[in-house]
């Protein structure tokens, strides 16, 4: 029989089986749907199929659970970008892959973006969340920068500046379009996407 898996949480406790991923995903979904204030342990426990007491025991506070949500979001974004550009062998192929991942993100609806910006708002009042948001940004940017650097070394790209600046620029373009989509859901972002894609292409070489 296969041994039960465990997940080590940020404060060191291990939660056996698939409970930790279920709880984190339940909170991630709840924040996107209800906001941080409306995402109570009662809601999350019910949606994750665990007891409220288990959440308190392993996470202690809602803020601690939200930190795990931030880490989960970071892992998802890194995996998606890395998988997308893994086989790309030219600037156009890399750009097409990145645009596809971003369009898939927008296609999921407002929930993922709302969750992210809710967490950004909370970080203004919570130093622990703020530190995790900084780490989220750093990790996603660094992983994309490393991937771009590897593509450049392999001859697939001729970056116009250092990889970290290029990665930061690409995320800035994506963040701006995401905010526009959230504030004006029916705004035609097609022309803006075309201009952003052209700008991104210019820095990839």
Give residue 17's pLDDT: 62
**Residue ranges making up the domain that contains 151:** 6-204
C-alpha–C-alpha distance, residues 127 and 131, integer Å: 6
1 within domain boundaries: no
CATH code at 199?
1.10.357.10
Sequential DSSP letters for the chain? -PPPPEEE-TTS-EEETTHHHHHHHHHHHHHHHHHHHH--HHHHHHHHTS-HHHHHHHH-SHHHHHHHHHHHHHHHHHHHHHHHHTT--SHHHHHHHHHHHHHHHHHT-HHHHHHHHHHHHHHTT-HHHHHHHHHHHHHHHHHHHHHHHHHHHTTS---SS-HHHHHHHHHHHHHHHHHHHHH-TTS--HHHHHHHHHHHHHHH-
pLDDT classification of 136: cutoffs 50, 70, 90: confident
pLDDT above 90 (res 142): yes
112 within domain boundaries: yes
63 within domain boundaries: yes
84 within domain boundaries: yes
Give residue 2's pLDDT: 35
54 within domain boundaries: yes
Give residue 5's pLDDT: 44
As a whole number, mean pLDDT of residues 65-76 equals: 85
Contact 10, 68 (CB under 8 A): yes
C-alpha–C-alpha distance, residues 143 and 79, integer Å: 9
159 within domain boundaries: yes
Tokens of 82: 């890395």
Tokens of 110: 């407002």
As a whole number, mean pLDDT of residues 18-44 equals: 87
30 within domain boundaries: yes
Burial class (CB in 10 A: 0-12, 13-18, 19+), 155: exposed
C-alpha–C-alpha distance, residues 170 and 152, integer Å: 16
pLDDT classification of 10: cutoffs 50, 70, 90: low
Domain count within the chain: 1
pLDDT tens-digit series, residues 166-202? 999 999 999 999 999 989 988 899 999 999 999 999 9
């Amino acid at each position: 029989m296969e041994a039960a898996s465990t997940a080590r949480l940020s404060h060191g406790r291990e939660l056996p089986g698939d409970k930790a991923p279920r709880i984190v995903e339940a909170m991630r979904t709840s924040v996107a749907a209800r906001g941080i204030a409306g995402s109570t342990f009662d809601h999350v426990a019910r949606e994750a199929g665990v007891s409220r007491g288990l959440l308190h025991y392993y996470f202690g506070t809602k803020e601690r659970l939200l930190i795990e949500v931030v880490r989960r979001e970071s892992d998802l974004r890194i995996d998606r970008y890395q998988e997308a550009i893994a086989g790309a062998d030219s600037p156009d192929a890399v750009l097409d892959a990145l645009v596809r991942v971003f369009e898939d993100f927008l296609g999921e609806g407002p929930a993922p973006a709302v969750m992210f910006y809710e967490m950004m708002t909370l970080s203004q009042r919570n130093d622990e969340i703020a530190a995790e948001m900084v780490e989220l940004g750093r990790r996603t940017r660094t992983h994309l920068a490393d991937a771009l650097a590897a593509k450049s070394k392999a001859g697939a790209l001729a970056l116009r500046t250092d990889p970290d600046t290029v990665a930061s620029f690409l995320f800035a373009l994506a963040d701006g379009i995401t905010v526009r989509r959230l504030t004006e859901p029916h705004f035609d972002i097609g022309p803006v996407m075309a201009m952003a894609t052209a700008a991104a292409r210019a820095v990839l070489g």
